[in-house]
A and B are shown apart, each in its own frame.
Chain A
Amino acid sequence: MLLRSRLLKPAAALLLAAVTNAAAAAETTAAAQLEHWNAQASTPGQAARGQAFFTSRHGGEWSCASCHGTPPVREGRHATTGKSISPLAPAFNPRGFNDSARSDKWFRRNCKDVLNRECSPGEKADVLAYLLQLKP
């Protein structure tokens, strides 16, 4: 019993540390963000609608795919500067959509580039539904 508790305590401490670290690094997931936007949208996100939205231009010069690629499972490149951009689909990028403040910021910034306005919760839900079904 004594031996067991001696072994178990450090193991439990390690596990706790690992969980805490993971929580600090990744505050959310793409699936959780889809839920979040679904709750504010009139209909739940649809992958097919998201794909059409992602690959189309919306009056401006760029679509989402102009920088992120189609499908966005590899490194993208900024349409003007050529700077490489990490793969957008969460299954291909461990940091993809794991920080809600960062995701919100990029939605805000990039939607203005593509649509000249912010995206609606429904549009964000569609795009997330599309990105989430892209698997290796």
Chain B
Amino acid sequence: MPPIKHTHPAPARAGLLLAITLALAGPAVADDDGRSMPRQVPKAYTSECGSCHLAFPPGALPAASWKHIMAGLDKHYGSNVSLDDATTRQLDSWLQAHAGTWKRVGETPAQDRITRSAWFQRKHRQVRDAVWAHASVKSPANCGACHPGAERGDFDDDHLKIPPGLPLHLRWAWFD
């Protein structure tokens, strides 16, 4: 009886290699889906940016959009939100390091608004204008109105909530 050779046939070897590659790439891909928050968030990001709006996950915009935004803080969607130079530099480099590279953040959205991105509009296509305008929502930028885990970067469809007081006829998008 010939000795058993412990080599795999070529297709199996390729499969094993693929499995190892996927396993190694796994965490990077998960980190890069653009919606979760990076593990290290500068305090200034939460206190400066996150006071007026959700501290948006940096992966929700491409690097070029963050560059425009950080270069124009004196005219930030109608407000002057200038920061001192050191904080501006710190947040700028953190945003550049964690900006979106995933497939949907391929182009800079109009006015560098997350809500003008094609992926955002497609994801929310069933949400009627009256929902955005509702008193408990007010703005598409108010992610937390429907995504209770938004602060943690949890935008999972299964964790949605219905904003309080939303009339029945506007709720169907939540059950679709």
Q: Please give the residue numbers on chain A whose beta carbons come within 8 Å of chain B beta carbons, in ascending order.
A: 77-78, 80-83, 85, 109, 112-113
Contact = CB atoms under 8 A, between A and B. Distances in A.
Interface in B79-95: 79-81
Contacts of B54: 81, 83
B138 A81 contact: yes
Interface in B128-173: 137-139, 141-142, 144-145
Contacts of B144: 83
11 contacts: A78-B52, A80-B77, A80-B139, A80-B141, A81-B52, A81-B139, A81-B141, A82-B145, A83-B52, A83-B54, A109-B79
B74 to A, nearest CB: 9
Contacts of A113: 79-80
A78 B139 CA distance: 10
A25 B54 CA distance: 25
Nearest to A79: B138
A83 B138 CA distance: 9
Interface in B20-64: 51-54
B79 A78 contact: no
B80 A82 contact: no
A83 B81 contact: no
B2 interface: no
Contacts of B139: 80-82
Contacts of B53: 78, 81, 83
Contact of B137 (A82, A109, A112): A82
B78 interface: yes
Contacts of A112: 79-80
Nearest to A61: B78
B142 A81 contact: yes
A80 B132 CA distance: 12
B145 A109 contact: no
A81 B143 CA distance: 9
A61 B98 CA distance: 35
A82 B132 CA distance: 11
B81 A109 contact: yes
Contacts of B81: 109
B21 to A, nearest CB: 41
Given A80-B138, A81-B139, A83-B53, 8 more contacts: A80-B77, A80-B139, A81-B138, A82-B142, A83-B51, A85-B51, A109-B79, A113-B80
B79 A82 contact: no
A78 B51 CA distance: 9
Nearest to B138: A82
Contacts of B79: 109, 112-113
A81 B55 CA distance: 12
A64 to B, nearest CB: 14
